[in-house]
Amino acid sequence: MMFVHVVESPRDTDLLSGRTEGKTLCEALTLCDVPHRYHLATTKNAFKLGLSSLLKRACDEFNGFPILHISAHGSKEGLALTNGEFVTWPELREILAPLVNEHPKSIVLCLSACYGLNAVEIPMTLDGSGHLCAIIGSTKDSTWSQFAVAFIVFYFRFFGGETIGESVRLMNSVSGTDGFAVISGEAVRRRFVDKLAESFFQPPRPATNG
């Protein structure tokens, strides 16, 4: 069975004001009868637990594999956690590697975070034997209300039988933005390989006199 595994790390001021996108999402998932689990992670240690031992427990409970939904403040470099700690995209790759290696090409990663699609920087392997099925996120800054509305619609339509591509298209339609996109795990791997090739095989410099 596929389920949604939500790990949320809002700012402390978000918690104080009760502004929690992940928790709001889970209330909608309950109404839509979408199986899910929710974990609030205010530290890097709790964040890692939410994506390792607690996630494994949920996989055993549902006897299936998850859509990972991470809700946090994001940047082009990674994710900011409640207590001020920071998780870079390479760090996230290391955290997710055991799960992705166990379920190769099966895990969908949803980033409810500004610039979440920058998670394309986290290919798992070069040979493609252990990488994500897809990454869904935003290419720009978005508001919490846009994230909440967009992902509620995504899960409602996807678990209703719609394709990932069409579900993401609807995310942009209902949120009034064009920032949400999906990229396949194989495309992420190819992008990483191309970047490596560029760094190792620079074109020869033109000859100079003297």
Indicate the average pLDDT of the chain: 86
Task: Look up residue 197 and give its DSSP letter.
Answer: H
Q: Would you say 44 and 23 are in contact if contact means Cβ atoms under 8 Å apart?
A: no
* Confidence band, pLDDT 50/70/90 cuts, at residue 205: low
Taking the CB of residue 91, how many other CB atoms lie within 10 A of it? 16
Q: Supply the pLDDT for residue 27.
A: 96
Q: Which residues contact 143 (CB under 8 A, 6 or more apart)?
A: none
* Confidence band, pLDDT 50/70/90 cuts, at residue 98: confident
* Confidence band, pLDDT 50/70/90 cuts, at residue 126: very low
CA max distance for the chain: 76
The H helix count followed by the E strand count for the chain is: 8, 8
Tokens, residue 87 = 């998780």
Question: Residue 136's closest CA among 94, 165, 99?
Answer: 165
Separation between Cα atoms, residue 67 and residue 20, nearest integer Å = 19
Q: Supply the pLDDT for residue 210.
A: 46
Domains of the chain (ranges plus CATH)? 3-200 (3.40.50.1460)
* Confidence band, pLDDT 50/70/90 cuts, at residue 196: very low
What are the pLDDT digits (tens) for 177-194?
A: 889 999 887 766 665 545
Per-residue pLDDT for 121 more than 70?
A: no
Task: Choose between 117 and 156: higher pLDDT.
Answer: 156
Instruction: Report, as an integer, the average pLDDT of 47-69.
Output: 94
